[in-house]
Structure 1
Amino acid sequence: MSLEGRVAIVTGASKGIGLEIVKQLLTKGVKVAGWSRTDNDITDPNYLFISVDVSDPESVAHAYRQTAEMLGENIDILVNNAGFGIAGPMDEMVFEDWKRMFDVNVHGIFFTSNAVIPKMKELDRGHIINISSIAGRNPVKGFAGYAGTKHAVTGISHSMFMELRDFGIKVTCIYPGSVNTNFFDDIDAVTANENMMRPEDVASSVVHCLETHPNYLPVDFEVRPLRPNPTK
C-alpha cells in the first residue's frame, strides 16, 4: 500500500533506528514529525522536528497539537521508537534509573498512543508500530529493568492490536536483536560492532509493515543478526 501523503510521528528520531525510519518514510512521500529531545540534521520540507519528552504527558500533548497544526490532523502512523536501557544487577540498580526506563519505554507508549488513537478511530485507519527488543521476548541477565520494560511493551502491544483492529487500526510490535547504534555507549559489557544489524535494515522492516495490504496485520516481527558472533 502506498504511503504517499500520509502523516507520521516517529519518536526517538534524532539518531539510530528512529533517524533511519524518518529518512525512509520521507523517501516514500510521508510527512513526518520527528519527536525527540534533540534534533537531527534532516532538512526536508516534509519533515518537522518537535522537541518532546515522551515520558511527560503535557509535553506529548503539546507536541501532538503542534504536529496537527503543521502537518495536518490526519495523523495515521505512529512509530514508538523512543527508549533506552541501563544495565546492572537488581541489587545494584538505582531506582531513578529503573523508574526512568519505565517512564520512557512504557509510559511513553501510553502517552503517545493515547494522543493519536482518537483521530485514527475517526479516520477508520491507522498503524501504530512499537519498537520493542528481543529482550521483550527473552530474559536477559543483567538487564532486568530494561527487559521488564520491553516485556511490558509486548503485552501492551498485543492488547492494543486486539482492541484496535475493529477500528481499522493496525498495531505491530517489532523485536530487534542487537543493532549497531549508540544504545551500547553506556553499557560496558557490550560494544557496538559490525556483526550487529544495521539500523537502516530495521527501519526497512518498519516501512515494510507500514506498506502491507489494508487487510494484512503483522502483529509480531522479530529480526536478528545472521552471525552475531562469527568465527574467524
Structure 2
Amino acid sequence: MELKGKLAIVTGVSKGIGLETVKTLLEAGMYVAGWGRTNNSIDHKNYHFFKTDVADWENVQASYKATKEQLGNPAVLINNAGFGIQGLIHEIDVEDWKSMYDVNVHGLFYCIKMAAPDMIDNQEGHIVNISSIAGTNGVKTMSGYVGSKHAVTGIGHSIFQELRDYGIKVTTIYPGSTNTNFFDDMEFANANENMMRPQDIAQTILGSLQTHPNYHVVDVEVRPLKPKG
C-alpha cells in the first residue's frame, strides 16, 4: 500500500510499541489518529489524539465518528492496545480476568467493527493486530492473558478470509519479549536491553503495510536473537 497522505488509527499510543508505531507511520508520511486513555508527547502536525478506552463500545463509536469527521476514513488500523495480569488460574481476580478480555479481545473487535465497513467501501485497507508469542503457546501463571491472545490469533485468521476479497489485508504480529512497560508488574521477568526494541516491532508493522497489493503478510513471529545476552 502507498502510505503517504493516508490515515492510520493506532490504539494504545501512550508508550511502547504504540508510541513507536505512531512515530514510524508519521515518518512514512501518514496521518495518524492516536487512540488511548492517555496521550504521549508527540508534537506533529499530522498526529491527532482521541481519548479512547477501547473496552468501551460507546467510546469507540464516538472516537471513530470524531476521527472520520476530522481526518476522513482510515486506510490502516493498528490494534495495539492490550495488557496482561499475572496469576494462577484459581487465584486471579475475576475482574482482572474480565478486564483483560475487555481490552485485548472486545476492544479489538469494536475497533475492527467500526473500521471495516469504510475499508470495504474503499476496497482497500490493512488491519494489523498485535498479538504475542503468548498467542501461540501457553505461559505458566498467564492463562488469562494467553487466552486473550489466542483469541486475537483466531480472530485474525478468520477475518482475513472474510475481508480479503474486498482488498483488505489482516496481519497478526506475535512479538516475543519486548522492552516495554508490560513487565512492570510481572514476577517472572523484568524489561531489559536483551529484549527486542519497540521501534523494531514498529518497523515490522511498517514493512507489512508497504507490501504489493497482492502480497498478504498473514502472520509474523519475532523474537530477540539473544534473550539472555
Question: Does the pair score TM above 0.5?
Answer: yes
Cα distance, 1:125 vs structure 2 = 0.4
- CA distance in 2 between partners of 1:33 and 1:185 (Å): 27
Deviations, residues 32-82 of structure 1 (Å, cap 9, x unaligned): 00000001001111000011000111000000011111111x211000000
Task: Show the counterpart of 2:105.
Answer: 106
Q: Deviation above 6 Å: which 4+ runs of structure 1?
A: none
Aligned length: 229
Q: Within the alignment, does 1:133 sit opposite 2:132 as a pair?
A: yes
Letter in 2 for 1:173: T
For structure 2, list consecutive stretches of 5 or more residues without a partner in the other structure.
none
Task: Show the counterpart of 1:49.
Answer: 49
Deviations, residues 174-218 of structure 1 (Å, cap 9, x unaligned): 000000000011112211000000000000000000001110000
Task: Show the counterpart of 1:88.
Answer: 87
Task: Show the counterpart of 1:21.
Answer: 21
What is the CA RMSD across the aligned residues, in angstroms?
Answer: 0.7
Q: SS of the residue aligned with 2:49? A: strand
Deviations, residues 110-145 of structure 1 (Å, cap 9, x unaligned): 100000000000000000000000000011111000
For structure 1, list consecutive stretches of 5 or more residues without a partner in the other structure.
none
Q: Within the alignment, does 1:197 sit opposite 2:191 as a pair?
A: no
Cα distance, 1:2 vs structure 2 = 2.7
Task: Show the counterpart of 2:216.
Answer: 217
Letter in 2 for 1:48: H
Task: Show the counterpart of 2:33.
Answer: 33
Letter in 1 for 2:100: M
Q: Percent identity?
A: 60
Q: SS of the residue aligned with 1:221? A: strand
Task: Show the counterpart of 2:155.
Answer: 156
Task: Show the counterpart of 2:171.
Answer: 172
- CA distance in 2 between partners of 1:100 and 1:66 (Å): 25
* TM-score normalised to structure 2 length: 0.99
Q: SS of the residue aligned with 2:170? A: strand
Letter in 2 for 1:71: L
